[in-house]
């Protein structure tokens, strides 16, 4: 039990300590809060091993963090008085640092809005969220983005600098700022989820924890009245539906199993139910956002029965989604839905119009042609294989090519 206690606590409590302390420090001093949190855990690992685990480890951490904060302010006061002749800060404030659930959630919510600041590129926003709110280590983040630890450290340094220069402290996060920035916060959470779900990394545990962190942040937004908007619910619904297939979409060898070939019994029913619940909650406004459409598409993907209107509905939803926001992936998925509704011939005509150039596009063309033009199917799959980089993707394409080559003469 001791082995995992500190890492597990670190995962959740490290970020809580930083965010709560940031109520008492300006954002320019966020590193002091981080140092105090780190020192607190250092002391925990030193003393718990010797003296045993305290009866309430969380309360222990909070008390130590509070005392370290008071120590820091006291030392700083001495410094200010002697060296710079400044007024001392009263310690009263710091003796009353509050660790209630409510305070923690409120602080974390505000911290999301500080970190998801559009002055930073979206990738940097996500990296900061993972580091400060998710308690992710530099190594995990580097694995997520397939880059080096040095690179991530550099990005964190630059992104933090901008956040500090923006001078928006926790106390400045008011309802006006929340309304203005909610949409960009939701997009950051959505991309964080996608980073996990369509991961560059092969590390299954990291993929999962990225998705879980995105969902946790979204739940935080739903629990707060000012951010519990229909689109927030739509985003959570979408993430619930997607993650319901987590166990089904990967085999023991970490290979991706395509939707059509998944064992539907492995879909997580509890998450599908949650997805349905939040989808209904999301219908309360009169706005249809891209999250609503994507959640509805995900809803239909979670229905096991191949009812006649399933793919028609999916096609209609993609038609609408593309009108709100074009993306190559949505265009490809729309064409696949069109194939399900109208057959390969019509889908090929539409697919040829897309004129994309990635491996997914040529895979789709290969798939569509495989019904009555195996030569063209093979041609397109070979193009796809030439472009595909990830080993998982190449394996899938190779499997299709093998089948096509063995049945080529049956044409």
Partner 1 sequence: MNEFMMLFRHTPNPDFKMSPEQMQENIKYWQDWIGSIAAQGKFVATNQLSFEGKTLKPNNIVTDGPYAEVKEIIGGYVICKAENLDEALKLAQGCPILNIGGHVEVRSFMKIN
Least distance between partner 1 and beta carbon 335 (Å) = 7
Least distance between partner 1 and beta carbon 350 (Å) = 6
CA 96 to chain centroid, in Å, comes to 34
H helices of 200-289, in order, are 204-223, 230-243, 269-282
Give just the sign of the alpha carbon dihedral 33, 39, 43, 45.
positive
Least distance between partner 1 and beta carbon 342 (Å) = 9
Residue 282 CA to residue 228 CA, distance in Å, equals 10
Residue 180: enclosing H or E segment and its boundaries?
Answer: helix 175-197
Query: At a CB cut-off of 8 Å and minimum separation 6, what does 244 contact?
Result: 267, 268, 269, 271, 272, 275, 302
Q: Taking a C-beta distance cutoff of 8 angstroms, is the pair 405, 377 a contact?
A: no
Please say which residue, 216 or 342, places its beta carbon nearer to partner 1. 342
Please say which residue, 282 or 335, places its beta carbon nearer to partner 1. 335
Q: List residues binding partner 1 (CB under 8 A).
A: 312, 315-316, 318-320, 322-323, 326, 330-331, 334-335, 338, 350, 353-355
Cα angle: 118, vertex 195, 391; to 5 degrees: 140
Please say which residue, 159 or 338, places its beta carbon nearer to partner 1. 338
Least distance between partner 1 and beta carbon 329 (Å) = 11
Please say which residue, 163 or 315, places its beta carbon nearer to partner 1. 315
Please say which residue, 340 or 382, places its beta carbon nearer to partner 1. 340
Least distance between partner 1 and beta carbon 317 (Å) = 10
Please say which residue, 62 or 361, places its beta carbon nearer to partner 1. 361
Least distance between partner 1 and beta carbon 349 (Å) = 9
Please say which residue, 5 or 322, places its beta carbon nearer to partner 1. 322
Please say which residue, 157 or 326, places its beta carbon nearer to partner 1. 326
Residue 219 CA to residue 240 CA, distance in Å, equals 11
Please say which residue, 76 or 319, places its beta carbon nearer to partner 1. 319
Residue 107 CA to residue 19 CA, distance in Å, equals 6
Least distance between partner 1 and beta carbon 210 (Å) = 29
Distances (CA, A) of 382 to 102, 356, 400, 401, 411: 56, 16, 10, 8, 19
Residue 400 CA to residue 359 CA, distance in Å, equals 14
Give the N- to C-terminal CA distance of the chain in Å, as an integer.
62
Q: Taking a C-beta distance cutoff of 8 angstroms, is the pair 363, 390 a contact?
A: no
Supply 387's token pair.
Answer: 């472009």
Q: Taking a C-beta distance cutoff of 8 angstroms, is the pair 253, 235 a contact?
A: no
Report the 10 Å Cβ neighbour count for 151. 14
Least distance between partner 1 and beta carbon 353 (Å) = 5
Least distance between partner 1 and beta carbon 356 (Å) = 9
């Amino acid at each position: 039990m001791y082995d995992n206690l500190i890492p597990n606590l670190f995962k959740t409590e490290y970020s809580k300590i930083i965010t709560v302390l940031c109520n008492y420090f300006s954002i320019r001093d966020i590193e002091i809060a981080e140092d105090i949190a780190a020192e607190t855990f250092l002391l925990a690992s030193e003393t718990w091993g010797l003296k045993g685990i305290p009866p309430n480890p969380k309360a222990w951490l909070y008390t130590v963090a509070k005392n370290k904060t008071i120590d820091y302010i006291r030392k700083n006061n001495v410094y200010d008085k002697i060296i710079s002749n400044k007024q001392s800060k009263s310690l009263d404030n710091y003796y009353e640092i509050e660790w209630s659930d409510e305070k923690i959630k409120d602080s974390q919510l505000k911290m999301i809005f500080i970190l998801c600041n559009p002055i930073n590129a979206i990738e940097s926003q996500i990296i900061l969220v993972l580091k400060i709110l998710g308690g992710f280590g530099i190594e995990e983040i580097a694995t997520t983005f397939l880059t080096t630890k040095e690179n991530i450290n550099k990005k964190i340094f630059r992104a933090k600098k901008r956040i500090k220069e923006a001078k928006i402290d926790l106390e400045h996060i008011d309802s006006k700022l929340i309304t203005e920035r909610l949409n960009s916060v939701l997009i950051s959470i959505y991309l964080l989820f996608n980073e996990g779900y369509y991961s560059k990394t092969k590390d299954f545990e990291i993929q999962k924890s990225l998705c879980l962190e995105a969902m946790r942040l979204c739940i935080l937004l739903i629990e707060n009245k000012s951010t519990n908007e229909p689109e927030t619910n739509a985003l959570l619904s979408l993430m619930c539906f997607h993650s319901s297939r987590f166990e089904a979409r990967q085999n023991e060898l970490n290979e991706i199993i395509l939707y059509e070939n998944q064992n539907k019994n492995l879909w997580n029913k509890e998450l599908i139910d949650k997805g349905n619940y939040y989808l209904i909650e999301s219908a309360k406004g009169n706005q249809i956002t891209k999250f609503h459409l994507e959640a509805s598409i995900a809803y239909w993907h979670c229905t096991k029965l191949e009812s006649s209107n399933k793919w028609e509905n999916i096609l209609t939803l993609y038609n609408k989604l593309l009108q709100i926001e074009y993306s190559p992936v949505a265009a490809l998925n729309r064409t696949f839905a069109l194939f399900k509704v109208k057959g390969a011939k019509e889908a090929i005509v539409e697919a040829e119009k897309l004129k994309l150039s990635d491996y997914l596009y040529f895979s789709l063309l290969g798939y569509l042609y495989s019904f009555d033009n195996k030569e063209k199917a093979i041609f397109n799959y070979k193009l796809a294989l030439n472009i595909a980089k990830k080993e998982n993707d190449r394996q899938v394409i190779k499997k299709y090519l093998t089948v096509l080559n063995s049945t080529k003469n049956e044409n």
